[in-house]
Amino acid sequence: MKRLAIYCGSATPADPFYLDLARQVGDTLARRGIGVVYGGGRLGLMGAIADSALAAGGEVIGVIPQALVDAEVAHRGLTELHVVTGMHQRKQAFTDLADGFVTLPGGTGTMDELWEALSWAQLGYHADPVGLLNARGYYDDIVAFWHKMGDVGFLRAQHRELLIVADTLDALLGRMAAHVPTQPIVRMAASDL
């Protein structure tokens, strides 16, 4: 994996754990020679990842909608900053520029990005690994919901492994490196759907 799209919050939670986690992720990826593709913001976890990766000599590519540039939240010190018209173009750029996806703690925007990466993998729009860093159990309920979708029958058996979950970045990157793409929906017979 040469570049990873990092999904995370633009907020700054009161608990310093989350900013420290973001800084650790940015630093670790840069030291491993893995570029960061992210939302292009300077605030919250987004800014912490970018700043720490840059400080460690890493490549950081931001993709940000024009409306957020106008709101003055864009990070101006990145390796590259791509300004797009909206969120759909932003998520397409993440997919085009990265070799995989890592989701850190975040809110609704982060969830939107995670679910779209999973949906696109299921459909066959990309075959890249989709990782969820479940630090401090932040995503326990999402992981349980993912399993429930499979148990009920809304998630096909061959797609259950699309979501790669780990509690530490090292474990997550190891599992993502071992990712084997599954059979996407676009390559399945209608009788198998």
Percent of the chain with pLDDT over 70: 95
In the block, tokens 């999402």 appear at 142
Query: pLDDT band at 12, cuts 50/70/90?
Result: very high
Residue-wise pLDDT for 19-55, tens only, equals: 999 999 999 999 999 999 999 999 999 999 999 999 9
- The rounded distance, in Å, linking the Cα atoms of 168 and 40 is 24
Average pLDDT, the chain: 95
Q: Number of structural domains, the chain?
A: 1
Angle at 101 between CA 169 and CA 16, to 5 degrees: 45
- Residues 92-114 have a mean pLDDT of 97
Q: What are the CB-based long-range contacts (under 8 Å, 24+) for 179-185?
A: 179/100, 179/128, 179/129, 181/121, 181/127, 182/121, 182/158, 183/158, 184/121, 184/122, 184/123, 184/124, 184/125, 184/127, 185/122, 185/123, 185/124
In the block, tokens 């599992």 appear at 175
Q: What is the pLDDT of residue 183?
A: 77
Residue-wise pLDDT for 158-188, tens only, equals: 899 999 999 999 999 999 999 998 877 666 6
- The rounded distance, in Å, linking the Cα atoms of 71 and 125 is 32
Q: What is the pLDDT of residue 181?
A: 86
Q: What is the pLDDT of residue 45?
A: 98
Residue-wise pLDDT for 135-156, tens only, equals: 999 999 999 999 999 999 999 8
Q: What is the pLDDT of residue 190?
A: 65
Range of the domain at 69: 3-192
For residue 184, give the CATH number of its domain.
3.40.50.450
Residue 127 pLDDT exceeds 80: yes
- Residues 117-132 have a mean pLDDT of 95
